[in-house]
Chains A and B, each alone.
Chain A
Amino acid sequence: MSGNHRCLRALALALVFAALPFTDAFAHCFVGARFFPATLAVDDPCVADELSLPTISWSRTADMPPATEWDVSAEISKRITADFGISIGETWKQIRGPGGPTMAGFDNLETTAQYQLLKDNSHELAMLLGLIVDWGGTGASNSGIATPYSVFTPTYYFGKGLGDLPDSAGWLRAFAVTGQIGYQVPSRSFDLVQQALIPQVLAWGGSIQYSMPYLKSEIQDLQLPDFINHLIPIVEFQMSTPAANNLGNSPITTGTINPGVIWVGSYFQVGLEAQVPVNHASGTGVGVLGQLHLYLDDMFPKTIGQPLIGGTGAAPQQLKF
């Protein structure tokens, strides 16, 4: 390659990088060397360009005798700026009682606005604030699938990898935890149909995850089969605790604990979890939750994988060691 060609190539590269917002660099949930996968039952602690299609769950309700419930949902998340993103999700539900009628239809439309508070690469720490809104009356409220009222849930999310532990911690460094806590405020306080108060609810959950990719690339390459090196075994939990306006309703916490595994690829991930109810009020028997999740920022890095509005617009700094 001649000197002129090298100069032209360098110039072209500089123009390309100057044109692309470099904040795209950490799209989906990379925090330093840590990658937090998209979790199935709770949310990961990053804004991102991603598509969950579909998420499918099968479970049996807490009714006696229990009904069978299928949920099929889709959600797309899009960054507006590097640190601010929105998500839109919809769920189709089918509830089939034993010998009884089958109810089916769409749940209310759900939107989420999220702001990335922090990404601390050296400590593998991410924090996020969000507002989840279930828009009342947008689903099949006549059949009892959806509610006629809206629910607003301001939510705090975090993720922390243990990679900043000393090297002597060894394999423990591949662990990470995520969590979220939100407070659900319905737009009505009384349900005229059910003749019951509509409680305000503390919605909380999280995950404990062990990253085989992290183990291989940061701690020790055990030369395991490639499939194993893409796995993230995980236990998620999601809980709801009535907090206010709950007179006459059950006061107990409900939720599930979900052991499972996520296979992480370059462009998508696949997750499968069991859903274990924490008590009789949370369901009957073990359910199943599965998800195909696409990384839009990796699939379409120069189009829809970019934030809609600029980012810093700065060219990347050349790394010097």
Chain B
Amino acid sequence: MRKFLTLVPLLCIALAPVAARAHAFLDHASPLVGSTVPAAPHEVVMTFTQNLEPAFTTAQVTDSSGARVDQGKAQVSGNTMTVGLKALGPGSYKVHWHALSVDTHTTEGAFTFHVGGK
């Protein structure tokens, strides 16, 4: 048993150098996921846990009626995706994103942020 348990950290160490890339999780965003900001942001910036493949990574932002309020194609650099916003009024906005990490794993998600006191 003790010998077996000794193998576990050794296995982790042996495997660690080959651990190259993985699924890209959303690490954090600005505005923060679920937050309320007093002033309308000009862009949404999302930072992921892995580098992204720009050609297959994108996002859209919609208002509560489903109308798009982003300025089109997201900009991707490294592990960061930025999407510009039109002038936003007070209200709730939803960000839908799809990401492809550089080793072809895809992930997707959505979150809401609020502008003003709503």
Contacts and interface: CB of A to CB of B under 8 A. Distances in A.
Contact of A218 (B11, B60, B103, B110): B110
A59 to B, nearest CB: 15
B85 interface: no
Interface string A51-65: 001101000000000
B44 to A, nearest CB: 13
A190 interface: no
The secondary-structure label for the interface of chain A is mixed
Interface in A1-44: 10, 13, 17, 20, 22, 24-27, 30, 32-33
B103 A302 contact: yes
B50 interface: yes
A321 B19 contact: no
A297 B104 CA distance: 11
B60 A53 contact: no
Contacts of B5: 54, 56
Given A13-B55, A316-B104, A219 B33 contact: yes
Contacts of A301: 20-22, 103-105
B98 to A, nearest CB: 5
A175 interface: no
B32 to A, nearest CB: 5
A26 B109 contact: no
Contacts of B112: 167
Contacts, number: 111
A24 B111 contact: no
Contacts of B68: 321
A115 to B, nearest CB: 22
A76 interface: no
A69 interface: no
Nearest to B99: A319
Nearest to A230: B25
B111 A218 contact: yes
B75 to A, nearest CB: 13
B82 interface: no
Contact of B106 (A10, A26, A220, A295): A26
Contact of A221 (B33, B50, B98): B33
B104 A24 contact: yes
B58 A320 contact: yes
A266 B108 contact: no
A24 B32 contact: no
Interface of B: 1, 4-5, 8, 11-12, 15, 18-23, 25-29, 32-35, 49-50, 53, 55-60, 68, 70, 92, 96, 98, 100, 103-112
22 contacts: A20-B104, A32-B109, A54-B4, A54-B5, A54-B8, A70-B1, A72-B1, A94-B1, A167-B92, A213-B25, A218-B109, A218-B111, A220-B34, A266-B22, A267-B15, A267-B22, A292-B8, A299-B15, A299-B19, A319-B98, A321-B58, A321-B60
Interface of A: 10, 13, 17, 20, 22, 24-27, 30, 32-33, 53-54, 56, 70, 72, 94, 121, 167, 213, 216-221, 223, 266-268, 292, 294-295, 297-302, 316, 318-321
Given A219-B33, A316-B56, A319-B98, 16 more contacts: A13-B55, A32-B108, A53-B11, A121-B108, A216-B33, A218-B110, A220-B33, A292-B8, A292-B12, A299-B20, A299-B22, A300-B18, A301-B103, A316-B104, A319-B57, A321-B58
